[in-house]
Amino acid sequence: MVISLEKNANLKLDILDSKNPIQIKYALNKLLFCPEVQLKSKIINILVKYLKNRLSEKDYPIKVFIAKLNNRIEGFVVSQIDPNYRTYGRKAGTFGWLLATSEKICNELMLKCEEFVKKHGMRKIRGPINLPKMIGGIGLQTEGFDAPMINGISFNKLNDPILEYLQNIRYKIESTYLCVHVTQEFWKKSKELSSEYEFGYLSVNELMKRKPELINLARESLLSILADAVGGSERFDEMVKIYSKVPSVQLHSKSAELNDCLHDELNYLKSLIRVNKDKVNPWVPLAFEKETNQIVGIILCLPNLYQLWSGKPLTHGNVDTVIIKKEHSGKGIFSALNNIGQVILKSMGVNCFEGTTIWGNNTRAIETIFPHSKIVRKHVVFQKRL
C-alpha cells in the first residue's frame, strides 16, 4: 500500500506500508547508521529475518513504513504491539528503528504509527523500542558514544536529529535508562549471606528445562516495577540461543576456576558453590534455596556477540537482567551472584562487565549497583498519549 502526499509538482512523498523483505533490506542499507561498519550487514540480515517472520504471522500486529521522497528513500520505522512488551506493567503500542532525514518525514511516519496503534485499541505509543533486543534495545542514545557497541543496547549516531524531531511533534521524554561499567569486583553485601543459600550454574539444556520456573520468577519480580519490560518466553529463548553460541565449561571442586580464582575475600564463597559433573553455561550464575532447590536469584549476563562477529576476543559482557525473588531481596544474593559471576568469567578472559538499561527511577537498582560502577551510556524513551 502507498500513501502519497503531493505539495507541488516537484515534491512527492510516499509512505509505503511494506511487507517486502527485499524492499525493507534496501531501505535499511540506505538509512541505518552503524557505529562499527563491519557489523551493519549482519545486523540488517537479522532484523530483516525477524521482520519477515513477524509480518508472516497472521495475528501479530506489526507494520513497516518506508518513506520515499521523489522516489528516494528518506525514512523508515517499525510499529508493533508485542504481547511481551509492557510499560509499567501494561500493554502499549511501540515504534522502533526510526530513521528520518527531516522532521517532515519523521512526522509523517509517526502519524502512520499512531494511526496503526489506535486501530488496535492502544492509547499510548512509546519508543524507540527496537526489537529483537539481541540487536536492538530500548531508547535513543544521548550519551556514551565512545563506548564500544554491545548487543542488546540500542545505537544511533551522535547528535541524532531524531531527538529534536520527536520533541517538535509533541513526543515527551518519559523514561531515562543508564548503562554502567562495573568497576568493583567484590561487593561486600555478600558477607551478610545466610547459610540457607547455595550458588551454581546450569547447562543450557538445564536452563531450558527450568524455563517455566524462571519465566514465573521474572514475571513476579520485574513487570510490576519496570517502565519498559521486553520479556516473556520469546526473550528467554533469544537469550538461550545466544548462550548456545559460546562454549560451556566444566566447574568442579578441583577446577582452576574455583580454586585459583576464588581468592582473598572471595575464598569464603567456595563453600557456597554447587559443583557440577557436566559442562555448564558460565554466563548465568544462579542462587538456590537449599531446602527447596528453588531458584531465588539469577544474573543473565550476555556475551558481546558483536566482538565475535568482528573476529575479536570475547572480553565484554552485558549484564542484561538481574532477578531476585522478592522475599529474598536485601540478603546479599545479588552481591554474591556478582562476585562469583565476575570471577568465573574473568578466568575465561572476560574483563569488562556492563550493567545495561537501568531505569533511572528504579531507586533500588540505583542504590545497589551505582556504588560499584560508573555511567558509560544514557538512553531516553519517548511517549505520546493518543
- Per-residue pLDDT, averaged over 39-52, amounts to 98
14 plus 139 within the same structural domain:
yes
- Per-residue pLDDT, averaged over 347-357, amounts to 91
Q: Is 262 helix (H, G, I), strand (E, B) or coil?
A: coil
* Residue 50 in grid coordinates: 525477524
The residues facing 23 across adjacent strands are: none
Q: What is the pLDDT of residue 268?
A: 53
Q: 155, 177, 199: which is the final residue of a domain?
A: 177
Indicate the range of 224-228, 258-262, 274-278 predicted with least confidence.
Answer: 258-262
Question: 34 versus 329: which is more confidently predicted?
Answer: 34
182 part of a folded domain: no
Q: Is pLDDT of 129 > 50?
A: yes
pLDDT, tens digit (0-9, with 9 covering 90-100), for 154-185? 999 999 999 999 999 999 999 999 999 999 88
Which residues have a Cβ under 8 Å from the Cβ of 14 and sit 6 or more positions away?
2, 3, 4, 5, 67, 68, 69, 71
In the chain, how many domains are there?
2
Q: What percent of the chain has pLDDT over 70?
A: 90
28 plus 74 within the same structural domain:
yes
The residues facing 303 across adjacent strands are: 317
Question: 235 versus 150: which is more confidently predicted?
Answer: 150
- Mean pLDDT across the chain: 89
CATH of the domain at 72: 3.40.630.30
Instruction: Find the domain containing 15 and state its range.
Output: 2-177
Indicate the range of 174-183, 297-306, 335-344 predicted with least confidence.
Answer: 335-344
Long-range contacts at 208-215 (CB < 8 A, ≥ 24 apart): 208/240, 210/295, 211/236, 213/294, 213/295, 214/295, 214/298, 214/323
66 plus 207 within the same structural domain:
no
* Residue 116 in grid coordinates: 496503526
**Cβ–Cβ contacts within 10 Å for residue 62, how many?**
17
183 part of a folded domain: no
169 plus 77 within the same structural domain:
yes
90 plus 154 within the same structural domain:
yes
339 part of a folded domain: yes
Q: Is pLDDT of 66 > 80?
A: yes
